[in-house]
Amino acid sequence: MIVAVDAAGGDHYPKAPVEGALLAVQEDESLTVLLLGPEDLIKKELEGKEYDKKRVLIQDAPQIIGMEESPAAAVKGKQQSSIVIGMGLHKAGKCDAFVSAGNTGALLAASTFILGKLKGILRPTIGAYYPTVKGFRLLLDAGANLDVKPEVALQFAKMGQVYCRNIIGIESPTVGLLNVGEEDEKGTEELKAIHKHIKDLPGFIGNVEGKDILSGKADVYLTDGLVGNILLKFGESIPATIMKLVERAVSKLDLEVEEVVAAQKILKTALAPFNYERVGGVPFLGVNGVSIVGHGGSSPLAIKNMIKSAVSCIENDVNGKIVTSLN
């Protein structure tokens, strides 16, 4: 199995992608990684490191798509970038998946335009893992689709269930529609239309509210990309905010050193579910390939887990099961 890795993506390239790729091949002897980016940068990063040159390959991609560049313009104008070349190789069957911590919009554009959509898919979606007291659950859509029609929402729900069942390991995933109240008649006309269209979906539990997310009331939280992205960014801010509040409280208390250390350990353990490094990244669901996107600040550990996510999607035939679920 060959997983292409964007070695020119994210805030810490090429160090984080290269080190993460090396960690992945060390753990999985059947895995080969293809590092894409400026060849000189990649080779320099690999200097002094021990690795199997037959399983760590390099593909020169001299152009770099910045994190703030316009997605469509970048994909169209930088044909020699790691994202465009990587997607082309994936499309041609030269690799089995592509992972990147780079420009999310550019990755979505390249995934859609180059890989295309799975048979029957109206619009691809991007998900996000959301921590709950029951473990990670899936939030759809996390920013790819600001407006979601009822028939598209139904496909999102089905794709989310397939992903939860095969990757997260939830046998019978439930779906909740994020709304301002639990009653069927609540929400905008668009939300009412979506509710009506998906109400007969097996596993649909109806409307859920914001207070239901962290408690894990549903396994797939369905919403549009606007609300989903706001929730995603809000969730990312929670650990740092709590840490600041606790530090402020500790500074006002007359605690022994041992008590402070104990409090820090408890807090670190409690906030562990919010650590994105544990899952690495999520796929663009609905595209005709395996395209995984991760946090721009991804560490080597996050990159490694992103690669593992790609392998899981391939081994569990997530795309094949998505197509089957639509029929």
pLDDT in tens, 3-34: 999 999 999 999 999 999 999 999 999 999 99
Strand order of the sheet with strand 32-37? 56-60, 32-37, 2-6, 97-100, 291-294, 281-285, 125-132, 135-140, 220-222, 175-178, 204-208
Q: Enumerate the β-bridge partners of residue 32.
A: 2
Q: Residues 52-110: pLDDT tens digits?
A: 999 999 999 999 999 989 988 999 999 999 999 999 999 999 999 999 999 999 999 99
Q: What is the pLDDT of residue 65?
A: 95
72 HSE (CA, 13 A, CB side): 0
pLDDT value at residue 267:
84
Answer yes or no: is pLDDT of 279 > 80. no
DSSP state of 52: -
CA distances from 190 to 77, 206, 252 (A): 36, 15, 49
Share above pLDDT 90 across residues of the chain, in percent, rounded to a whole number: 77
Residues 187-237 have pLDDT tens digits of 999 999 999 999 999 999 999 999 999 999 999 999 999 999 999 889 888
Cα gap 127→113, rounded to integer Å = 19
130 φ, ψ (degrees, to nearest 5)? -125, 125
Average model confidence (pLDDT) for the chain? 93
Rounded distance, CA 219 to CA 117, Å?
A: 25
